[in-house]
Amino acid sequence: MSSPVRDDVPLAPLTTLELGGRARHLVEAPTEQAVLEALRWAQARGVPAFILGGGSNVVVGDRGFDGLVVRMTARGRAFATEGGETRVTAAAGEPWDDLVADTVARGLAGLECLSGIPGLAGATPVQNVGAYGQEVAETIRAVRVVDRRDGSIAELAPEACAFAYRDSAFRRAPERWVVLAVTFGLRAGGAPTLRYRELADALAGDAAPTLATTRATVLALRRRKSMVIDAADPNRRSVGSFFTNPIVAADVAERLAARAAALGLVPAAADVPRWPAGPGRVKLSAGWLIERAGIVKGQRAGAVGVSTRHALALVHHGGGTTAALLALARTVRDAVAARFGVTLAPEPIFVGTTWDAPAGDAT
C-alpha cells in the first residue's frame, strides 16, 4: 500500500476521551486511493476495517479493535458558485471547526451555529451533526462515498443519505459506506440562523448580529459548558453530549411533564422543556431529565464522572477504563428511566465494545 500499515497501535491518544485499547493494525489515509487500498488490504486478510476521523464521538473498548483502523487524513476545500448558492466541498479529513471558521470569514451562512464542534468534516453527515438550531442536513448537497460492497465511488444526494435526528444511512450501515468528502450549499451574505432560544437570547442586545458575532457567541456558550476542546479544561476528555435528546410521542411527553410537576420538579407541567419534533412527536431535553433524575454535575465514579459544567457530558479524568465509563453511562440512563419512564440513547459510536456490554466483557 502507498501508506504503511502499523501494528499494535494505541487508540486512546487518537480519541478525545483518551480511553480504549489498541488497534491490531492502523493505516493513515491521506487520499481517496489510500482509502481504497486500505479497504482492499483488510478484505484480502479477512479482518474488519473501522474508519476513524477525529475520535471526538468514539468510545473504544478496553480490548481495542481486532482489525484495521483507517484514519482519515485527507485535506482540502474547494469553493464554487452553483444554483444561486456557494458550494464548498471539504475532504473527509478537514478539521470541522477550521472549515466553519473559513465559511464565516467568507460571509457564507449556513454553518455558523455549528462552530466549536470537534472532529472532522467527514463525520458530520454520519451523525447529522447539529447544535444551536442548525443541522448539517440542512446544507448538505452531496456526499462522496466509497461503497464497501464493490469499492465503487459515488456521489449521494441528500435524500439518499436518509438524514434524521443525529442519524443517517451512514450511521445505520457503517459496514457499507465510507465518506470521502462532503459538499455544502451556503448563502453568500446570508443572515445567521437564530432559531435556538439560548443563542437568540445571548445575542438579544445586538440589533444586527453578523455571522462572526454569532460564531463568537456560540463558541462562548460551548466553552461555558466545556464543549470546546481545551487542554486546560478538566472536563476536556469527553465525547461531548453522551446521550441524544429523546424524541417521544406527544402523549408520553404530557405524562412525563405531569409526573415532573407532581414530584415538585417544576412549578407546573408547562415548565418542562420540550419542542415539537414532527407530527405527534416531541423532543425532550436529555440534560434536564438527567439532572432531575438525581444525577449531579461533577459527581464521580473513580476516574470517570459527570462534567462539572454539563450533565450530558461524561468525562474521563485520567487513568480510567472504558468499562467504568459505560457503567456510569448506564447508571445515568437507568436513573432517568426509573424517574421518568424514558430510556436515553447514546450518541457516540462504539468500537470494540457495545453499549450494553457487561462490565469486563468484550471491552
Whether residue 233 lies inside any domain: the answer is: no
CB of 178 closer than 8 Å to CB of 146 = yes
CB of 26 closer than 8 Å to CB of 43 = no
Q: Please check the confidence at residue 172 and state whether its pLDDT lies above 80.
A: yes
Catalogue the active-site residues: 166, 241, 347
Query: Are 188 and 116 in the same domain?
Result: yes
Name the nearest CA neighbour of 184 among 254, 114, 136: 136
3-class secondary structure, 153 = strand
* Range(s) of the domain holding residue 163: 77-224
> Rounded mean pLDDT of 152-163?
97
Last residue of some domain: 72, 93, 125?
Answer: 72
Whether residue 315 lies inside any domain: the answer is: yes
Query: Are 82 and 210 in the same domain?
Result: yes
What pLDDT, on the 0 to 100 scale, is given for residue 361?
39
Q: Share the mean pLDDT of the chain.
A: 95
**What CATH code is carried by the domain that includes residue 333?**
3.90.78.10
Query: Are 68 and 83 in the same domain?
Result: no
Name the nearest CA neighbour of 49 among 346, 351, 348, 323: 351
Give the model's confidence band at 207: pLDDT under 50 very low, under 70 low, under 90 confident, else very high: confident
Q: Please check the confidence at residue 265 and state whether its pLDDT lies above 50.
A: yes
Give the model's confidence band at 356: pLDDT under 50 very low, under 70 low, under 90 confident, else very high: confident
Q: Which three cell numbers stand for residue 345?
A: 440513547
Last residue of some domain: 197, 224, 251?
Answer: 224
Whether residue 359 lies inside any domain: the answer is: no
Overall number of domains in the chain: 3
Whether residue 38 lies inside any domain: the answer is: yes
